[in-house]
A and B are shown apart, each in its own frame.
Chain A
């Protein structure tokens, strides 16, 4: 372990704050008109466009490389999925029921793949996987508590027991820093279980968004942890503290 002062101190940059503000405002204003969704596009892709034309220089070379690799991963994922869908729909008398959902599906697939890949590259596999799992567990925890309150009240036992569903994710987050390969296998097993449980159907592409948001982190973290092996994220930090005293 290193002292807190040498830990990475995450501070949102001005660019991130402005872009996030524009994205939130864009989503909020879509209740007035869906054209305001273009503000979301501006906040999401605007900084990247400015960086590419050289008007914004807020990232170092390692961060830029992580961004570029993530872009390539998003291209590969979306391209493969596009081919699968085209082959699926052209191979029979199948029609796309909702083209709006199809566009949303690809938007979410592109953006989420980019985000996962960039975070895995920047934070490192174990740290990123642990954070994904903590977020995932927290979402499950909040969801189970909220769903047991209000008009759907089913008693104290349900309120106390349902949140335990989040416990495996917190346990996996803890395990990921100690036994990454074991955690990777468990995450892939969880992915396969949920994939079967939820039952993905290519004809209902709108279900795909749910799959990407809920199962994407499990799949990406599982594969990344398996490939990362036993390497520790900061293997020499303890030695560093001893030597520098900082």
Chain B
């Protein structure tokens, strides 16, 4: 199913920069590795609370991790 808003996620990039595995990140934010995998692949858009937790782990803003894809909501 195509979501109403297509979101570009940069979680994977930040995780690799932080030298973390998916399991380590999952443990840090209290979810399963499958959840992190789905977020990184763009199959699942996390809740605001989980997005904030992820941003806190990488010490960045939520907008740095998740961005609306250009052209999707312009009209």
Contacts and interface: CB of A to CB of B under 8 A. Distances in A.
Interface of A: 5-6, 8-9, 60-63, 65, 122-124, 234-236, 240, 243-244, 246
Instruction: Give the size category of B's interface with A.
Output: 20 to 34
A122 B33 contact: no
A62 B12 contact: no
B8 to A, nearest CB: 15
B30 A60 contact: yes
Given A6-B33, A60-B31, A63-B32, A236 B12 contact: yes
A62 B32 contact: yes
Contacts of A244: 16, 19-21
- For B23, B34, B35, which residue has the most chain A Cβ atoms within 10 angstroms? B34
Contacts, number: 49
Interface of B: 12, 16, 19-23, 30-35, 37-41, 43-44, 46-47, 50
A66 to B, nearest CB: 9
A6 B16 contact: no
19 contacts: A8-B32, A9-B23, A60-B32, A60-B35, A61-B35, A61-B50, A62-B31, A62-B34, A63-B32, A122-B34, A124-B37, A124-B38, A234-B37, A235-B41, A236-B40, A240-B16, A243-B16, A244-B16, A246-B19
Contacts of A235: 41
A75 to B, nearest CB: 16
Nearest to A123: B34
B58 to A, nearest CB: 15
Nearest to A235: B41
Given A61-B47, A61-B50, A246 B21 contact: yes
